[in-house]
């Protein structure tokens, strides 16, 4: 839990980026040439520039192996650099932890590696790895935990046994759990310093419910409740071969590697997998929610509701709708709110889709306090126009070209191909999902976009969260509707206030 | 999402045992596939073949950044970066001849308004309103010829990904990736915006940039602190001015000034364009020469005269507000051409890299006073003499003063005792690893080739820097530490938490500064 990273804090150069909000964004996908921006005319000299056919490209697919105990292995040879990287994805993550111990999986992800094994404590492992410029790391995520390693290929036979030792024989230590707890406590104490972060958290809580696996927050008390025994029991419960996917990429021979992995993992015994978590949500209560933050001169505004799942047959039409609405500089919301009105630097969002639960539909904008209401109205207008203004022929073509012509970037490196296959396998999606996606997008018509906009976009079901400086917000938010204040005061730790200044 | 992030993070981590380069990844292999061509107009092209997939990435590096902003026009380099996406005399307009006339009227109207607006005595509100009205009308007329965002849209529609640019103190850079069959189209777009940009929609883009400033600086506790930190640390050199600019200056800058900035700094002799990916240099170079060679030449801008004078005594900034505490300090150091440059990198590595790092083990693991602590070898840039900076994030209940004391203990240790052989070896091993890891993708490679070609006049320095790394000794580290990490060379900034005031909207941050010399 590193709260402040160098890249985001000090050395960050000023960026022209449209900083899209962090949500489940549909992938930009694409291939095929031929699409030209505009009909060739003298006024458009760029449209006469030849675009040859893209050379045939059939990248190597990873080799898939399934052991009798259910463990799945993907091997992706990549001989460009002399490294071997590996990762073990383990089913079960933050959404599966008990509510009263929210934070358990994050603590586990940190303390697992820093504690080490009976043979080698974490600090010594740090020394050994860093001396080789190698890494073994663990982490806790929403749906899974991960153990990964990376080394020069010549060090593989030293590093891999240490990684499997950590997988199979960890010894969780009290001091490392405490260290992880202090990192998370720091994050909690600082979570109200950023307006954007507050807005993002409130979106999850209001859309999924503050007690749901996708909306709940880590608090001092829930972190405090986690014990060493909890980490050990989580480990024993989740590290079972039928819940794990092992993937390797790098400079190795697949046949030899397969033999090594079979030796390492064939002896593991099957176990039970976590039960699926709650998957039905009603979405946010419509209305305006407000968090006061009096040290800012810019409001963070999110208009939001629930999105969909990636196995929805309407995914392709929704993807094209997203492109038209917010996919880059030419999209409607950027053209209007940023370029035409000059009301924001950061504006964007999408109708999001997650693999196995509804994603979020979020449109966010950062605008000076005084223009909070006009900017919010501009965003709401653009959302409304998705239903009232069908895409023009140019808009549809541009959006589809954008997806299809950049499709190659979904698989232009062996690692991207491997990651895609692992993700699809983890969520039980067909392995040709990407190709189906491309074909699906190619077939989308203007009528399809209009149909899905009518089916999925309902402004009356959306909520609005504003984090800003109330005194400066003129006209007042009440012009948008009834405002519900949200108290984001951080509940103090069980033993007393955290901020002992 | 989690999976992608995790793997993404892994790819950034470099690995290599000391001295063992893969045969395919040494300087000789890059010599065979890398070509440098300086065009007659002075523009430098660096082409590197990497036919792993039918795509390419480019990185255009303009050797001018916010440090080159004229006095009174801070933020201009960054403003121009935004304008580089507004199109050219061919892209983004319905009728450039008419638009050109309209844009000239906008400038005239702005100048008239600006004179009245800035009058210290005798400003006439009625006249000011009239002038504003004339300006608004001129803007509306010019706007009628604009095809908004057409430049970016052509790129996006043709499969460009990662379209972006950034402005730093030292330089401004533009980059994206595209399918390889769009290489000529890219050359058209890129050479067009370097050679013939049009400052359309300038005054609206100023509002966008003001929002960027509000987001990064005004509304961010650490953004506010860093701005004050740099303003205190530098008295003469432009590193004292935030790259995004001061609010008052952004609001007054005009398109005529942006054009002048372009004319002075965006000359071909001041630009390196690196392209990496799936193409044949023999057939591609003539195409690029045709497009980039057509950019009008101009004199290479003169080098900056200002050198930050020696600091006399420690300077301290204390911000008291209702946000969480933070501590940063910096020590002036020479620019990247200094013979000790790699020694600063070694100290930063020793202090910050991974869980074996000294600051982690001392402040985070053992003393348990900090969540994170790191050293940065060159802040805010490295083209000009900058600072070695260290920051620490206090754990709840701990103070910036504790961070400061703990950091100074680490500096004292560095000054009094040589580092271990293992620490030095680890730095060298990781430096080689980082280099090698960076060679495996088009984007990173294009960036590195452009940067080394700009800084050293030869991309090969990317590989040769390892000789400097190898030459660092334990004695060097101790010597440099004793030279630099001294009280009189220090500037520090901190956020001290104070409980929020009960009256909403009145908790404006208060910055105080003490010290600062004679």
pLDDT for B337-373, tens place per residue?
999 999 999 999 999 999 999 999 999 999 999 999 9
Q: Percent of chain B, pLDDT > 70? A: 92
In this prediction, residues A444-448 reach a mean pLDDT of 97
Q: What's the DSSP call for residue A80?
A: S
Residue A10: predicted pLDDT: 33
Mean pLDDT, range B16-37, rounded to an integer? 70
Distance CA B452, CA B431 (A): 16
pLDDT digits (tens, 9 = 90+) for A300-329: 999 999 999 999 999 999 999 999 999 888
Do the chains contact at B20 and A144, CB–CB below 8 Å?
no
CB < 8 Å to B82, chain A: 16
Task: Give pLDDT tens digits for A398-442.
Answer: 999 999 999 999 999 999 999 999 999 999 999 999 999 999 999
- pLDDT higher than 60, residue A4: no
Of the candidates B54, B207, B441, which has its C-beta nearest A413's C-beta?
B441
As given in the structure block, the two tokens for residue A184 are 């998370």
What pLDDT is recorded for position A5? Answer: 27
Specify the pairing of strand B315-321 against strand B490-497: parallel
Candidates A9, A24, A150; nearest CB to B15 = A150
Residue B116, H or E segment:
helix B96-118
Contact flag B17-A132 (C-beta cutoff 8 Å): yes
Q: Mention every residue, 6+ apart, whose C-beta is less than 8 A from residue A320.
A: A391, A396, A399, A400, A403, A441, A444, A448, A449
Q: Report CB contact under 8 Å: A3, B393.
A: yes
The pLDDT, as a whole number, for residue B5 is 27
Give the pLDDT confidence score for residue B243 in this predicted structure: 95
Is the pLDDT at A16 greater than 70? The verdict is: no
Reported as a pLDDT band with limits 50, 70 and 90, residue B8 is very low
Question: How near does any CA of chain A get to the CA of B130, in Å?
Answer: 22
The pLDDT value given to residue A497 = 60
Give the range among A25-39, A378-392, B407-421 with minimum mean pLDDT: A25-39
The yes-or-no verdict on residue A19 having pLDDT over 90 is: no
Closest alpha carbon to A181 in A438, A498, A501, A451: A498
B16: chain A residues, CB-CB within 8 Å: 82, 133, 152
User: Which one is the CATH code of A18-32+279-485: 2.30.30.90, 3.40.50.150, 3.40.50.300, 3.30.830.10?
Assistant: 3.30.830.10
Mean pLDDT over the full length of chain B: 92
Q: What is the pLDDT of residue A279?
A: 84
Residues paired with B60 in a beta bridge: B174, B273
User: Are B158 and A37 an interchain contact pair (Cβ–Cβ within 8 Å)?
Assistant: yes
Q: Report the predicted TM-score, pTM, of the whole model to 2 decimal places.
A: 0.91
Shortest distance, CA B83 to any CA of chain A (angstroms)? 10
Q: Residue B461: helix, strand or coil by DSSP? A: helix
Of the pLDDT bands very low, low, confident and very high (cuts 50, 70, 90), residue A40 is very low
Residue B216 has pLDDT above 50, yes or no: yes
The mean pLDDT value for A87-98 works out to 98
Q: What is the pLDDT of residues B419-440, one digit of tens each?
A: 999 999 999 999 999 899 999 9
- Other CB atoms closer than 10 Å to residue B233's CB: what's the count? 27
Give, in degrees to the nearest 5, the angle at Cα B240 between B237 and B241.
115
**Looking at residues A11-18, what average pLDDT do you find?**
33
Given an 8 Å threshold on Cβ–Cβ distance, is B208 in contact with A406? no
Q: Are B274 and B462 in contact (CB under 8 A)?
A: no
Q: Do B220 and A408 touch (CB under 8 A)?
A: no
Q: What does the H/E/C string look like for B227-280?
A: HHHHHHHCCCCHHHCCCCCCHHHHCCCCHHHHHHHHHHHCCHHHEEEEEEECCC
| CATH code 3.30.830.10 for B44-93+146-292 | yes
| Rounded CA separation B420/A114 (Å) | 23
Ordered alpha helix ranges (H), A21-173:
104-115, 122-131, 156-168
Q: Among B149, B184, B244, whose Cβ lies nearest the Cβ of A49?
A: B184
Q: CA torsion sign, B91 to B95 to B100 to B105?
A: negative
Of A2, A132, A194, the CB nearest to B220: A194
Distance of alpha carbon B281 from alpha carbon A18, whole angstroms: 33
CB pair distance less than 8 Å for A82 and B433: no
Cβ contact B504–A329 (<8 Å): no
pLDDT bucket at B25, cuts 50 / 70 / 90: confident
Cβ of A2 within 8 Å of Cβ of B371? The answer is yes
Query: B114: distance to nearest CA of chain A, Å?
Result: 20
- Which residues in chain A have their CB less than 8 angstroms from residue B401's CB? none
* B6 closest CB neighbour out of A13, A134, A139: A139
**Chain B: residue nearest A82 by CA?**
B22
pLDDT digits (tens, 9 = 90+) for B42-65: 999 999 999 999 999 999 999 999
pLDDT beyond 60 at B20: no
Banded model confidence at residue A364, pLDDT cuts 50, 70, 90: very high
Residue spans of the domains in chain B: they are 44-93+146-292, 315-499+506-515
Q: Tens digit of pLDDT for each residue in A220-270?
A: 999 999 999 999 999 999 999 999 999 999 999 999 999 999 999 999 999
Q: CA A498, CA A490: separation in Å to the nearest integer?
A: 10
Average pLDDT of span B176-204: 97
Asked if the model's pLDDT at residue A127 lies above 90, the reply is yes
> Is-contact B208 B104, C-beta < 8 A?
no
The helices-and-strands tally (H runs, E runs) of chain A is 16, 15
Position B24 confidence tier, pLDDT thresholds 50, 70, 90: low
Say which residue, A494 or B76, is predicted with more confidence: B76
Could you tell me which of A239, A222, A261, A297 has the C-alpha nearest to residue A471? A297
Instruction: For A48-74, write each residue's pLDDT tens digit.
Output: 999 999 999 999 999 999 999 999 999
Superfamily of domain B315-499+506-515: Metalloenzyme, LuxS/M16 peptidase-like (3.30.830.10)
Over residues B376-412, the pLDDT tens digits come to: 999 999 999 999 999 999 999 999 999 999 999 999 9
Exposure of B307 by Cβ count < 10 A (0-12 exposed, 13-18 middle, 19+ buried)?
exposed
Chain A residues with beta carbon closer than 8 angstroms to that of B504: 292, 294, 470-471
Name chain B contacts of A30, Cβ cutoff 8 Å. 159
Query: What digits encode the pLDDT tens for the residues A470-489?
Result: 999 999 999 999 999 999 99
Q: Which of A478, A408, A325 is nearest to A57 (CA)?
A: A408
Helices B400-416, B474-484: inter-axial angle, 10-degree rounding = 130
Distance from CA of B469 to the nearest CA of A (A): 15
Confidence at residue A42, expressed as pLDDT on a 0 to 100 scale: 59
**Beta carbons of A195 and B153 less than 8 Å apart:** no
* Chain B residues inside the 8 Å CB shell of A177: none
Q: What is the mean pLDDT of chain A?
A: 90
Q: Answer yes or no: are the C-beta atoms of B46 and B30 closer than 8 Å.
A: no
pLDDT of residue A268: 97
For residue B74, the chain A residues in CB contact (below 8 A) are none
User: Looking at this predicted complex, what is its ipTM?
Assistant: 0.90
Q: What is the pLDDT of residue B150?
A: 96
pLDDT of residue B26: 82
pLDDT band at B27 (very low <50, low <70, confident <90, very high): confident
Contacts of B19 in chain A (CB under 8 A): none
**Domain locations in chain A?**
18-32+279-485, 70-265
Contact residues, chain A, for B389 at CB < 8 Å: 10
Q: Which residues of B touch A423 (CB under 8 A)?
A: 3-4
CA distance A471 to chain B (A): 6
Domain boundaries A70-265, corresponding CATH code: 3.30.830.10
pLDDT computed for residue A443 by the predictor: 98
pLDDT, position A242: 98
Secondary structure class of B83 (helix, strand, coil) = helix
Cα–Cα distance measured from residue B43 to residue B27, given in angstroms and rounded to the nearest whole number? 24
């Amino acid at each position: 839990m590193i709260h402040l990273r160098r890249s985001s804090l000090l050395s960050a150069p000023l960026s022209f980026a449209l900083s899209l909000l962090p949500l489940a964004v549909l992938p930009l996908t694409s291939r095929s040439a031929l699409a030209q921006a505009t009909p060739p005319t003298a006024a458009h000299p760029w449209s006469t520039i030849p675009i040859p056919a893209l050379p045939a490209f059939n990248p190597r697919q990873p080799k898939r192996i399934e052991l009798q105990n259910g463990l799945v292995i993907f091997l992706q040879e990549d001989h460009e650099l002399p490294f071997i990287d590996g990762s073990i994805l383990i089913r079960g993550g933050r959404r599966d932890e008990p509510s009263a111990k929210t934070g358990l999986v994050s603590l586990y992800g940190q303390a697992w590696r820093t504690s080490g094994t009976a043979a080698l404590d974490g600090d010594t492992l740090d020394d050994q790895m860093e001396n080789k410029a190698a890494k073994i790391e663990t982490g806790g995520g929403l749906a899974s935990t991960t153990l990964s390693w990376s080394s020069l290929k010549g060090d593989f036979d030293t590093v891999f046994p240490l990684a499997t030792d950590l997988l199979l024989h960890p010894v969780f230590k009290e001091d490392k759990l405490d260290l992880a707890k202090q990192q998370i406590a720091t994050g909690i104490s600082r979570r109200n310093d950023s307006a954007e972060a507050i807005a993002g958290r409130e979106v999850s809580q209001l859309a999924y419910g503050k007690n749901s696996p996708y909306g709940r927050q880590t608090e001092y008390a829930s972190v405090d409740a986690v014990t060493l025994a909890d980490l050990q029991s989580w480990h024993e419960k989740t590290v079972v071969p039928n819940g794990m996917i092992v993937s390797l990429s790098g400079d190795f021979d697949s046949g030899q590697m397969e033999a090594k992995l079979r030796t390492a993992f064939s002896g593991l015994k099957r176990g039970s997998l976590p039960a699926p978590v709650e998957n039905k949500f009603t979405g946010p209560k419509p209305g305006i929610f407000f968090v006061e933050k009096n040290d800012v001169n810019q409001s963070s505004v999110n208009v939001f509701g629930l999105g969909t799942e990636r196995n929805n047959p309407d995914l392709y039409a929704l993807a094209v709708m997203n492109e038209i609405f917010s996919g880059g500089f030419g999209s409607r919301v950027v053209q209007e709110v940023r370029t035409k009105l000059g009301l924001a630097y950061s504006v964007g969002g999408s109708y999001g889709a997650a693999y196995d639960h509804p994603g979020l539909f979020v449109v966010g904008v950062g605008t000076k306090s005084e223009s909070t209401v006009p900017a919010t109205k501009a965003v709401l207008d653009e959302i409304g126009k998705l239903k009232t203004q069908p895409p023009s022929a140019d808009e549809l073509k541009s959006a589809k070209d954008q997806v299809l012509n950049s499709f190659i970037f979904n698989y232009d490196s062996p690692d991207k191909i491997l990651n895609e296959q692992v993700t699809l396998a983890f969520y039980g999606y067909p392995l040709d999902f990407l190709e189906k996606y491309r074909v699906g997008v190619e077939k989308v018509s203007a009528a399809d976009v209009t149909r899905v906009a009518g089916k999925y976009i309902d402004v009356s079901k959306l909520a609005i969260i504003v984090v800003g400086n109330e005194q400066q917000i003129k006209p007042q938010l009440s012009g948008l509707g009834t405002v519900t204040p949200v108290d984001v005061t951080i509940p103090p730790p069980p033993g007393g206030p955290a901020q002992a200044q | 999402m989690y999976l992608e992030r995790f793997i993404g993070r892994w790819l950034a981590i470099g690995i290599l045992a000391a001295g063992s380069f893969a045969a395919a990844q040494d300087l000789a292999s890059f010599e065979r596939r890398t070509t440098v061509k300086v065009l007659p107009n002075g523009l430098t092209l660096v082409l590197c073949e990497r036919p792993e997939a039918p795509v390419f990435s480019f990185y255009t590096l303009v050797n001018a950044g916010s440090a080159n902003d004229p006095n009174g026009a801070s933020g201009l380099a960054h403003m121009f970066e935004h304008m580089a996406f507004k199109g050219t005399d061919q892209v983004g307009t319905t009728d450039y001849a008419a638009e050109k006339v309209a844009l000239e009227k906008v400038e005239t109207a702005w100048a008239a308004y600006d004179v009245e607006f800035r009058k210290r005595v005798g400003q006439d509100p009625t006249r000011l309103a009239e002038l504003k009205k004339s300006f608004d009308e001129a803007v509306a007329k010019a706007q009628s010829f604009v095809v908004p965002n057409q430049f970016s849209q052509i790129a996006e529609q043709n499969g460009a990904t990662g379209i972006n640019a950034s402005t730093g103190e030292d330089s401004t850079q533009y980059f994206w990736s595209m399918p390889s069959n769009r290489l000529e189209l890219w050359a058209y777009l890129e050479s067009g915006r370097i050679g013939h940009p049009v400052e359309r929609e300038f005054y609206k883009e100023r509002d966008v940039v003001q929002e960027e400033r509000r987001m990064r600086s005004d509304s961010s506790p650490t953004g506010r602190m860093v701005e004050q930190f740099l303003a205190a640390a530098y008295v003469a050199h432009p590193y004292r001015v935030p790259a995004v600019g001061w609010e008052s200056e952004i609001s007054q800058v005009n398109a005529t000034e942006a054009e002048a900035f372009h004319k002075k700094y965006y000359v071909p002799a001041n630009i390196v364009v690196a392209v990496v990916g799936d193409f044949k240099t023999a057939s591609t170079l003539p195409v690029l020469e045709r497009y980039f060679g057509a950019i009008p030449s101009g004199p290479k801008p003169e080098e900056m005269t200002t050198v930050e004078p020696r600091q006399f005594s420690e300077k301290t900034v204390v911000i008291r507000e209702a946000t969480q505490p933070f501590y940063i300090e910096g020590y002036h150091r020479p620019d990247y051409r200094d013979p000790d440059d790699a020694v600063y990198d070694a100290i930063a590595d020793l202090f910050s890299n991974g869980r074996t790092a000294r600051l982690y083990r001392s402040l985070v693991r053992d003393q348990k006073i900090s969540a994170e602590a790191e050293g940065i070898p060159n802040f805010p840039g490295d083209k000009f003499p900058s600072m070695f900076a260290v920051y620490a994030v206090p754990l709840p209940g701990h103070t910036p003063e504790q961070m400061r004391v703990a950091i100074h203990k680490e500096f004292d240790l560095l000054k009094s005792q040589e580092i271990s052989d293992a620490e030095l070896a680890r730095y060298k091993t990781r430096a080689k690893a980082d280099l090698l890891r960076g060679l495996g993708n088009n984007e990173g490679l294009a960036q590195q080739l452009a940067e080394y070609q700009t800084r050293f006049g030869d991309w090969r320095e990317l590989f040769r820097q390892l000789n400097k790394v190898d030459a660092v000794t334990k004695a060097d580290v101790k010597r440099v530490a004793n030279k630099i990490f001294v009280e009189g060379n220090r500037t520090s900034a901190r956020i001290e938490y104070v409980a929020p005031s009960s009256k909403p909207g009145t908790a404006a941050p208060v910055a105080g500064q003490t010290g600062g010399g004679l």
